[in-house]
Structure 1
């Protein structure tokens, strides 16, 4: 983990998935040759110097070489040469870092507007004045208006204070930095999670946590005593087993649409569980 952290810091690994770049085929070939060839030569010299029978020599070389290469030599060489294998060339690395320095920032914005014509147009116009590009938009009806959720990209010089100032006419304005994962197709993700819940209803709390980016509350005492926040960052859904699941998401209130999706997943889990119970009954019971 520490090595991975250093790699991310050095700009080698992806900021989202944490994976290192795939090694270039030519570099990988050179690394394997450098690791395997000396071992092959040394073993051949040692075995031939002993003059064993032909079949014994072949068997000894095959078994010894295979075991050493697979379990010792190649893994060690891959670890020792890891930085050279996975790092791009000097000019590519410099170009990549220059591109990252100039890359736009991604932000998630939530704002409540009055439900009347022109409000959203004025919001987008104010964002356009900051050279902000709207990449995603979801509109959630709420009491007294609509709750708009936007994902926007801005120049690196634009910060959260600039965005808050631009949309100050709205209510309950919230701005967070985000990543490209916020642009993943939500409908496809919800369908995949629903299929997971149908296959195994016990996956319900994990599926809801993944769908909403929320944390499952396991402290039953805090739930019973009402110690959880009541600022919209807590969500309760029915549980087919324990009566209730509670989720929290610090600093990011749940929208009505998110609540509806979570409750629908709970219904899917309950139906799947009931069907499993019926399938488990023997004929005539």
Structure 2
């Protein structure tokens, strides 16, 4: 296990499965030939020199060659030639790691802006000064303005503090910034449709689908939780589902989407019951 950790940390093994890069077929064939050929040659020479009965010679060759090749010679040769065997995979992985280190960072930004002309333009200009590229934008009307959700890519040197500072300076309020992945670039309509299909197939998936859609957490005991960042939707089974997202109130549009999903679950459950 310690050797595996060393390989992963050194970049020689896969970060996910811990395995070494698979060697090329030609290199693997040559390595196995180099392991088996000398063994076969030596054993045949020994058998010829001793000259035992034919059946005994064949049996000895088969058993001895197989046992030594599988348990001794081949593993030793594989270890000895490990660097040469996995060299192409190491080079490819090193190149991939270098590309990842140079790749831009992805961030999700939520910010409240005044609902007047020029506010979003001012924000985009401020982000452009950081060489930030806006890859996704969703606008949610809220009381006293609009709540914008952006997905931006930035140079690797830009951090959340700098993003928060520049967005606040551009007139943003209640700014939240956190790292995200390319999954955030899937447009909201596609996500909602996918989750709707999931709820139709299994209405019991409703609470998990809503939590995923809104980035919220299901409250398992609503009586013990009271707070402003709460959303309640009807449950086809237990009356209500309650969700929370601390520090980030739900917008009217998000509430409407969650209620539509609940209606989809109720309709799917009624159809299934009528069969």
Output the TM-score relative to the length of structure 1: 0.68
Q: SS of 2:176's equivalent? A: strand
Q: SS of 2:115's equivalent? A: coil
Partner of 1:224: 223
Partner of 1:190: 192
Q: Deviations over 1:179-203 (max 9, x none)?
A: 1121123322221221121122112
Partner of 1:30: 28
Calculate the aligned-residue CA RMSD, in Å: 4.1
Alignment partner for residue 205 of structure 1, among 170, 188, 207?
A: 207
Q: Give the Cα separation in 2 of the matches to 1:211 and 1:87.
A: 44
Q: Deviations over 1:222-269 (max 9, x none)?
A: x114x2442x2x322110000111223455443333322221111100
Partner of 2:242: 246
Please tell me whether the aligned partners of residues 136 and 150 of structure 2 are also in contact (alpha carbons under 8 angstroms): yes
Shift of 1:23: 5.7
The alignment of Structure 1 onto Structure 2 pairs a total of residues equal to 241
Give unpaired runs (5+ residues) of structure 1: 51-72, 280-285
Query: What does residue range 1-285 of structure 1 map to in structure 2 within 5 Å?
Result: 13=14, 18=16, 26-27=24-25, 30=28, 49=59, 89-168=89-168, 169-218=171-220, 220=221, 223-225=222-224, 227-230=225-228, 232=229, 234-279=230-275
Q: Deviations over 1:144-169 (max 9, x none)?
A: 11111101111112111211221212
Q: SS of 2:274's equivalent? A: helix
In structure 2, relative to structure 1, the CA distance for the partners of 1:228 and 1:21 (3 Å cut) is farther
Partner of 1:282: none
Output the TM-score relative to the length of structure 2: 0.70
Shift of 1:119: 0.8
Larger-Rg structure: 2
In structure 2, relative to structure 1, the CA distance for the partners of 1:124 and 1:246 (3 Å cut) is same
Q: Give the Cα separation in 2 of the matches to 1:263 and 1:4.
A: 49
Q: Give the Cα separation in 2 of the matches to 1:237 and 1:8.
A: 45
Shift of 1:19: 6.6
